[in-house]
Amino acid sequence: MASLTAGNRRPVRLADIAKAAGVSHGTASNVFSRPEIVREEVRERVKAAAEAMGYGGPDPKGRLLRAGKVNAIGVATAEPLSYFFDDPFARVMMASISQACDATGAGISLVSAANNEQLAWNIQSALVDGFIVFCIEGGSRLVELARERKLPFVALDLDSEDGAVAAIGVDNIAGASLAARHLTDLGHRRFAVLALPFVDDRTGLVSPEQVRAATYGGTRDRLTGYLQELSRVGVDTSKVPVYETANDAATTRTGLETIFAAKEPPTAILAMSDRIALVTLEWLSARKLNVPNDVSVVGFDGVPEAAVSEPPLTTIAQPIAEMGRLAVKAILESDGKVSRQQLPVDLIVRASSAPPRG
């Protein structure tokens, strides 16, 4: 009881217990992986030896090399690891990825890193059968890294033009258009856009040229969808402020300050993510601006929090569960060919949007 065998190291291998039990390593291996084919008497002897020597079962490290398959999929992002548990969209997506993995018995490895170098190393050394890549900031670099591993991988939400990478995303143009249409139908004509990043590490009002040079096609597409619809009803889109946030609370608030500093503040805000929209609701409420009477807000994503916010958020719902399922399927049943799928989105009307005053 006082001194257990598990002192500090565990140099006890299968071969050791085979020797101790007086059998070949082949037989010892069988005792663990196919017990039914070894004679009971031998089996018990080997197991006893294993027990006595403090053997923890065949080391997966060894088994892995032979087996080839890890039976785990890697989920990668260029954000810190805690992004998976903090960000509402990521959480819902992860929950649906989890379900798909549970169903097939696959495990999940979280791969990420703050700095570039570490990220590269982590991706290169991840023990996985494939990657699902979250394309937020730094998405392109991440995709490049993942691609270099030559493992199956899909990018989530990537609207790159690069046809050589498999991707699962939504129809951003149609979705954004739907959001804008909802507001124009209500009668709004004064808008502001709170955008996701167009490129890395920049925030602030963006110009059309900057939009054209966007790294993130998804962001650009959403903007295209918004502006398409706005110009359809005659809004001068060159006057619509487009503020690029980092999809976090701080930059969103700065954006709102900027937008509402104008002489003619908008009556409707198009937010490219629910996260941005929810921060906006808070900010407006703190400013004593009533939503939806003073300002209407429409989000994008359809995270659960949007249903219980104050007021509940009108938003464009992505089929997150479906996307997760498809992504896992794409990895596990990878046939080597890249496929790009675009899923439809839904407008969910809640209480954060109404006709403008007057």
Partner DNA sequence: AGCAAAATTTGAATCGATCCAACGAAAATG
Partner DNA sequence: CATTTTCGTTGGATCGATTCAAATTTTGCT
239 secondary structure, DSSP code: G
Nearest Cα residue to 180 out of 190, 166, 167, 165: 190
Question: Smallest distance, Å, CB 79 to its own copies?
Answer: 10
Q: Confirm or reject binding of residue 250 to DNA (CB under 7 A).
A: no
Nearest Cα residue to 228 out of 172, 157, 170: 172
Residue type, 173: I
Nearest Cα residue to 225 out of 201, 246, 195: 195
Q: Confirm or reject binding of residue 122 to its own copies (CB under 8 A).
A: yes
The span from the CA of 87 to the CA of 260, in Å, is 26
Q: Confirm or reject binding of residue 62 to DNA (CB under 7 A).
A: yes
Question: Smallest distance, Å, CB 235 to its own copies?
Answer: 36
Q: Which does 80 bind (CB under 5 to 8 A by kind): its own copies, DNA, none?
A: its own copies
Binding mask 6-45 for DNA (x = CB under 7 A): -----x-xxx------xxxxxx-xx-xxx--xxx-xx---
Q: Is the dihedral of CA 180, 181, 185, 190 positive or negative?
A: positive
Residue with tokens 């392109």: 140
Helix (H, G, I), strand (E, B) or coil at 342: strand
Q: Which does 27 bind (CB under 5 to 8 A by kind): its own copies, DNA, none?
A: DNA
The span from the CA of 112 to the CA of 330, in Å, is 21
Contact 106, 72 (CB under 8 A): yes
> Residues 284, 290, 294, CA angle at the centre, nearest 5°?
100
For its own copies, the closer CB: 118 or 293: 118
Q: Confirm or reject binding of residue 71 to its own copies (CB under 8 A).
A: yes
Question: Smallest distance, Å, CB 33 to DNA?
Answer: 4
Question: Smallest distance, Å, CB 198 to its own copies?
Answer: 26
Interface residue with its own copies, options 15, 52, 99, 232 (CB under 8 A): 99
Question: Smallest distance, Å, CB 338 to its own copies?
Answer: 10
The span from the CA of 183 to the CA of 196, in Å, is 20
Question: Smallest distance, Å, CB 43 to DNA?
Answer: 7
Q: Confirm or reject binding of residue 143 to its own copies (CB under 8 A).
A: no
32 secondary structure, DSSP code: H
Question: Smallest distance, Å, CB 24 to its own copies?
Answer: 21
Contact 108, 101 (CB under 8 A): yes
Cβ contacts of 326 within 8 Å, gap of 6 or more = 168, 341, 343
Q: Which does 38 bind (CB under 5 to 8 A by kind): its own copies, DNA, none?
A: DNA
Residues engaged in binding DNA (CB under 7 A): 11, 13-15, 22-27, 29-30, 32-34, 37-39, 41-42, 57-59, 61-63, 65-68
Residues engaged in binding its own copies (CB under 8 A): 4, 6-8, 10, 54-58, 60-65, 68, 70-72, 80-82, 84-86, 91-92, 94-96, 98-99, 101-102, 105, 107-114, 118, 122, 124-127, 148-151, 164, 335-336
